[in-house]
């Protein structure tokens, strides 16, 4: 007789493993199937995020930032640090150890929550049956009352610059360099391009980024995008906008990249090339022909607002469905799916999902950009506050950037908050909470913020919306 579960989750990234744990918290019997294999041949839960995304990239960003500050900032504090050097291999070992601890932690969480973690491939058959093929065994058919698909995404590969795993690599390859390449090319000035470009630039690579769009960080508020462009160019990151890559090929130990921009045909030669032009949903081998699940024209699993696919009691969450490809978005969808399965009311507020780019300065936002609000036709007011006027930021020697708040003219509702500056990724949480509670700008104005803190910049920006800033001249 086949084994049967209340819920089977396919995929143990942040969308799937969180959904599995929440389902188990409801007292349901749960299995979570995952096939992720690391370069050492070992399987690990955690998906892209823990193994090859959020966590390893943040580990390297931290190490490289410390190295950069030791070289360029310590002196200002009166600290002499001569002969500062970086042992890249040790840095990579630290990163790998963090990844190991966290992925191992999921196995522990599964055990504690009584989720059955199954290592191998999952395939959805008709009638909510799931074929499970263990890495080293025969396929078995499992049965479930509910299925959650959480199979994530994979990097987009350009035909004109195919990955060779050595010189032309994806983000995972760029996280694993054993030394800083002399010259590093990056195709795509998106989140990955800027984060990983920053890592290797701080460690000594000469970095050139080729971006197809004319606007830098086109998805961000324009004022923030322009400030970011200024900061990155100060740091020595060369970004060519409006650059359309036409080919990239190996030439001995280098890669020759051809591209066209407003000035015509261009060429750049680099030692390594990272292609980071987005990710696509991953659903290969996931469905039997008669599973009934539909994909859209871009390959995403079609779901409604509650992450229900077209097949009864089959949900899909995370990067394999529409919406931003962010770990926290996937996790909240996993929670929602599990809560709905348990018969609870649940929803995800897609209007209040924070975006964070972990560069220096950090960039974070939630809600609408000024351009989006303007296009919506709603009357609005804005206020901003520069970190240059923040005592805490000065003490931290991190005064670049600002907080900008966009609010509705009619009812004072906070519509968007945009931050570029120190700890922007932490500061944005206050704004997310405000938006989640549909706060007015006055609510933030009347909230007491500790002094001296970076959060005071959020407070002052909210005051500036109504020309009431106290520590900076008003408009
Ligand atoms: P994934 O994490 O991709 O997990 C899917 C899992 O399903 C994988 O383990 C896969 O092996 C498994 N799987 C797929 N098909 C099957 C099958 N048929 N059977 C069994 N198992 C299967 N997001 C952030 O929010 N913050 C960040 O700082 C951040 N940094 C990033 C940095 C990089 C370099 C990259 C590449 C991404 C980053 N992201 C970040 C994005 C984030 O990693 C993804 O949004 C997130 O991992 C999506 O979670 P998921 O659970 O949907 O999918
Ligand atoms: P992205 O969508 O952020 O950026 C891709 C960039 O490549 C865009 O600016 C795009 O205009 C450009 N581009 C596309 N085709 C191009 C071409 N042919 N030539 C030149 N430029 C081209 O994608 P990404 O940086 O690859 O990241 C993938 C996903 O991972 C994103 O959805 C992101 O949300 C997620 N991620 C998040 C974080 C974070 O939250 N801090 C970090 C890394 C990745």
124 and 199 share one domain: no
Q: Are 7 and 145 in contact (CB under 8 A)?
A: yes
Catalytic member of 121, 418, 451, 459: 451
Q: Is 237 a domain residue?
A: yes
100 and 35 share one domain: yes
Residue with tokens 């106290």: 470
Check residue 2 and give its pLDDT: 86
CA atoms within 13 A on the CB side of 92: 15
Q: At a CB cut-off of 8 Å and minimum separation 6, what does 192 contact? A: 57, 171, 274, 276
Q: Return the CATH number at 263.
A: 3.50.50.60
From the number of C-beta atoms within 10 Å of its C-beta (0-12, 13-18, 19+), residue 421 rates as buried
- Please state whether the predicted TM-score (pTM) of the whole model is above 0.85: yes
245 and 288 share one domain: no
Q: Return the CATH number at 396.
A: 3.30.390.30
Nearest to 293 by CA among 331, 321, 329: 321
216 and 291 share one domain: no
Atom of ligand 2 nearest to the CA of 156: 26
Q: How far is the CA of 128 from the centre of ligand 1 (A)?
A: 24
C-alpha span between 200 and 86 (Å, rounded):
12
9 and 120 share one domain: yes
pLDDT in tens, 145-154: 999 999 999 9
108 and 41 share one domain: yes
pLDDT in tens, 181-235: 999 999 999 999 999 999 999 999 999 999 999 999 999 999 999 999 999 999 9
C-alpha span between 355 and 425 (Å, rounded):
8
- 348-382 burial, b at 16+ Cβ within 10 Å, e below that, comes to beeebbbbbbbbbbbbbbbbbbbeebeeeeeebbb
The β-bridge partners of 122 are 132
Q: Is 161 a domain residue?
A: no
199 and 107 share one domain: no
Q: Is 474 a domain residue?
A: no
**Structural domain of 22:** 4-155+280-348
Last residue of a domain, one of 230, 262, 277: 277
Ligand closest to 17 (CA) is: 1
287 and 145 share one domain: yes
Last residue of a domain, one of 300, 319, 348: 348
Q: Is 209 a domain residue?
A: yes
C-alpha span between 163 and 145 (Å, rounded):
40
Q: At a CB cut-off of 8 Å and minimum separation 6, what does 253 contact? A: 167, 271
C-alpha span between 122 and 140 (Å, rounded):
10
149 and 43 share one domain: yes
Q: How far is the CA of 350 from the centre of ligand 2 (A)?
A: 20
- Total tally of structural domains belonging to the chain: 3
Mean residue pLDDT of the chain comes to 97
62 and 126 share one domain: yes
Is the pLDDT reported for residue 1 higher than 90?
no
Q: Are 306 and 326 in contact (CB under 8 A)?
A: no
140 and 270 share one domain: no
- Residue 22 CA to chain centroid, in angstroms? 22
Q: Is 470 a domain residue?
A: no
pLDDT in tens, 324-358: 999 999 999 999 999 999 999 999 999 999 999 99
Pocket test for ligand 2, best of 54, 56, 190, 229 (most atoms within 8 A of CB): 190
13 and 149 share one domain: yes
Pocket test for ligand 1, best of 8, 9, 10, 11 (most atoms within 8 A of CB): 11
Clarify whether 451 is annotated catalytic: yes
Check residue 82 and give its pLDDT: 87
């Amino acid at each position: 007789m086949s084994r049967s579960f209340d819920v089977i989750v396919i995929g143990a990234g942040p969308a799937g493993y969180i959904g599995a744990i929440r389902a188990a918290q409801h007292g349901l019997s749960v299995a979570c199937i995952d096939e992720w294999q690391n370069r050492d041949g070992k399987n690990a839960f955690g998906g892209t995020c823990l193994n090859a995304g959020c966590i390893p990239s943040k580990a390297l960003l931290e190490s490289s930032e410390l190295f950069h500050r030791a070289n360029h900032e310590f002196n200002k504090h009166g600290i002499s640090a001569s002969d500062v050097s970086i042992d890249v291999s040790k840095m990579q070992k630290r990163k790998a150890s963090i990844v190991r601890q966290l992925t191992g932690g999921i196995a522990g969480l599964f055990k504690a929550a009584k989720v059955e973690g199954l290592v191998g491939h999952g395939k959805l058959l008709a009638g909510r049956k799931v074929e499970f093929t263990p890495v080293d065994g025969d396929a078995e058919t499992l049965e479930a009352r509910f299925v959650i698909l959480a199979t994530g995404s994979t990097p987009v590969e350009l035909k004109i610059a195919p990955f060779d795993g050595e010189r032309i690599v994806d983000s995972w390859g760029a996280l694993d360099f054993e030394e800083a390449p002399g010259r590093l090319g990056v195709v795509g000035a998106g989140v990955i391009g800027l984060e990983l470009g920053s890592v290797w630039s701080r460690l000594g690579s000469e970095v050139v980024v080729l971006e197809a769009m004319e606007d830098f960080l086109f998805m961000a508020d324009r004022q923030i995008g322009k400030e970011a462009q200024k900061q990155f160019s100060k740091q020595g990151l060369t970004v060519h906008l409006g650059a359309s890559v036409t080919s990239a090929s190996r030439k001995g130990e280098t890669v020759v990249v051809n591209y066209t921009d407003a000035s015509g045909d261009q060429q750049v030669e680099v030692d390594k090339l990272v292609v980071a032009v987005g990710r696509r949903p991953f659903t290969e081998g996931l469905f039997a022909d008669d599973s009934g699940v539909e994909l859209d024209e871009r390959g995403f699993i079609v779901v409604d607002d509650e992450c229900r696919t077209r097949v009864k009691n089959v949900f899909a969450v995370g990067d394999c469905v529409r919406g931003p490809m962010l770990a926290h978005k996937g996790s909240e969808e996993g929670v929602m799916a599990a809560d709905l399965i348990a018969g609870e009311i649940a929803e995800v507020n897609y209007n209040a999902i924070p975006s964070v780019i972990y560069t220096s300065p950090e960039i974070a936002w939630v809600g609408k950009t000024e351009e989006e609000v303007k296009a919506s036709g709603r009357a609005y007011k804005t206020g901003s506050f520069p970190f240059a006027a923040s005592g805490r930021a000065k003490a931290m020697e991190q005064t670049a950037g600002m907080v900008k708040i966009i609010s509705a003219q009619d009812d004072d509702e906070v519509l968007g908050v945009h931050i570029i500056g120190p700890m922007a990724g932490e500061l944005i949480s206050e704004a997310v909470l405000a938006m989640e509670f549909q706060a007015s700008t006055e609510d933030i104005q009347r909230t007491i913020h500790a002094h001296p803190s970076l959060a005071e910049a959020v407070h002052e920006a909210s005051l500036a919306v109504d020309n009431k800033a106290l520590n900076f001249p008003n408009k």
